[in-house]
């Protein structure tokens, strides 16, 4: 509670002092994840900004996840996450100033973003400190939202004010799943025990154990997923880094490395050779902005502008390009020649089968 109040104060104070921003929010290298190794052979790398928020998750030189933030708002909200260029998760902060109340996921079908699923999030107030209490998940089916599952979250409010999460109950298709969170004397999460039952009070359906290990520097360094029966099957592993950024992977186990430390037996990733694309300039802009890009081999090039809801605004490029440097401009108009509203937009460039997405801001 005290920490959250302090952070709110700092956020307000930042409006008056850019110097303090650098002092209080400079990146702590010891808390920043350099790489994550899945099952001993698949490597992901992380890219952070100076305030500790993650910007990109990469694999084999290609962007797997790209994170976009609202740099015009006091809290620096996470606006959206684009996954493999084919899925976008959009966050809505309708009811709480700094907590998302909706997450809407859309899937790219080659021409437009289509609704896929959404989460409705509810919180409870514990002496002006808010905790996630309920999450309803729905899928978009035949033009309407259809219930999929829900989760309830339970906390220990008597544990010296730390209020750790102790249990999550999930209800889905007649199966009840209880996940119990266990901590050590330093309030570090050590394990999650999950048991699933068919119906209320029914027979045990399956169970698994997720174990968390830490270094002497108190960094999370390994997570093991032990499935029911020890068959070595992958399961969903979830965790947070030292800045509160959320990660999830399907894995048997994963290893986490910090501050540029990576194991010698993992090869460095090769940077994608398909193309390079620069951030548009100027940004923010009015009335015109330019996007420069380089094609490294003859390929079909597509550049499309989308709004924050994933709706297609205008196709800027859609043709085959030979190797070379190119640029394209956008004047803030949609496909009908009308000026768009002020706000944040994405431009997605696809060359061959490689995608990359960047954010730009249009001001009137």
How far, CA to CA in Å, does 211 sit from each of 48, 156, 186, 188, 222?
26, 20, 16, 11, 8
pLDDT tens over the chain, length 364 residues: 333 333 333 232 223 222 222 222 334 555 688 889 999 888 898 888 766 788 889 887 778 898 988 765 555 678 899 998 889 999 988 766 678 899 999 998 888 889 999 999 998 877 667 788 999 999 999 999 999 999 999 988 775 555 688 899 998 888 889 999 998 888 888 999 998 887 666 777 778 899 999 988 788 999 999 876 555 678 889 988 877 788 999 999 999 988 643 343 333 333 345 567 888 898 888 889 999 988 888 888 999 998 877 778 999 999 999 989 999 999 999 988 999 988 888 888 888 767 777 888 888 7
Phi and psi at 37, nearest 5°, equal -105, 120
CATH top-level class of 2-258: mainly beta
Angle among Cα 36, 211, 203 to the nearest 5 degrees reads: 125
Domain ranges for the chain, please list them: 2-258, 275-362
Q: 55 Cβ partners below 8 Å, 6+ apart?
A: 47, 48, 49, 66, 67
- The fold of 275-362 is Immunoglobulin-like (2.60.40)
- Tokens read off for 106: 């859309």
**pTM for this entry:** 0.66
């Amino acid at each position: 509670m005290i920490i959250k109040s302090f952070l709110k104060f700092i956020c307000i104070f930042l409006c008056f002092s850019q110097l303090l921003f650098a002092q209080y929010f400079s990146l702590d290298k010891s808390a920043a994840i350099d790489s994550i190794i899945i099952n001993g052979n698949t490597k992901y790398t992380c890219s952070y900004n100076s305030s500790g928020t993650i910007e990109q998750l990469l694999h084999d030189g290609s962007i797997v996840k790209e994170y976009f933030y609202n740099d015009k708002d006091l809290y620096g909200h996470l606006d959206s996450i684009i996954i493999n260029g084919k899925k976008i998760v959009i966050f809505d902060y309708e009811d709480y100033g700094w907590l998302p109340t909706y997450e809407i996921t859309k899937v790219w079908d080659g021409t437009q973003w289509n609704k896929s699923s959404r989460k409705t999030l509810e919180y409870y107030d514990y002496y002006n400190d808010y905790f996630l209490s309920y999450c309803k998940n729905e899928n978009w089916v035949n033009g309407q939202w259809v219930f999929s599952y829900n989760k309830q979250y339970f906390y220990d409010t008597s544990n010296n004010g730390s209020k750790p999460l102790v249990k999550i109950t999930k209800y889905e298709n007649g199966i009840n799943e209880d996940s119990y969170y266990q901590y050590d004397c330093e309030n570090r999460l050590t394990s999650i025990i999950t048991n699933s039952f068919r119906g209320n009070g029914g027979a045990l359906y399956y169970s698994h154990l997720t174990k968390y290990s830490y270094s002497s520097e108190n960094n999370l360094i390994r997570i093991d997923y032990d499935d029911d029966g020890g068959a070595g099957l992958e399961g969903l592993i979830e965790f947070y880094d030292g800045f509160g950024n959320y990660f999830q992977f399907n894995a048997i186990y994963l290893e986490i490395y910090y501050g540029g430390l990576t194991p010698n037996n993992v090869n460095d990733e090769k940077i994608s050779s398909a193309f390079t694309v620069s951030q548009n300039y100027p940004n923010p802009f009015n009335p015109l902005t330019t996007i420069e890009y380089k094609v490294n081999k003859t390929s079909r090039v597509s550049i499309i502008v989308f709004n924050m809801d994933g709706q297609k605004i205008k196709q800027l490029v859609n043709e085959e390009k030979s190797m070379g440097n190119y640029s394209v401009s956008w004047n803030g108009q949609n496909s009908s020649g009308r000026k768009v509203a002020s706000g944040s937009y994405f431009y997605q460039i696809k060359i061959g089968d490689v995608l990359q997405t960047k954010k730009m801001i249009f001001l009137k």
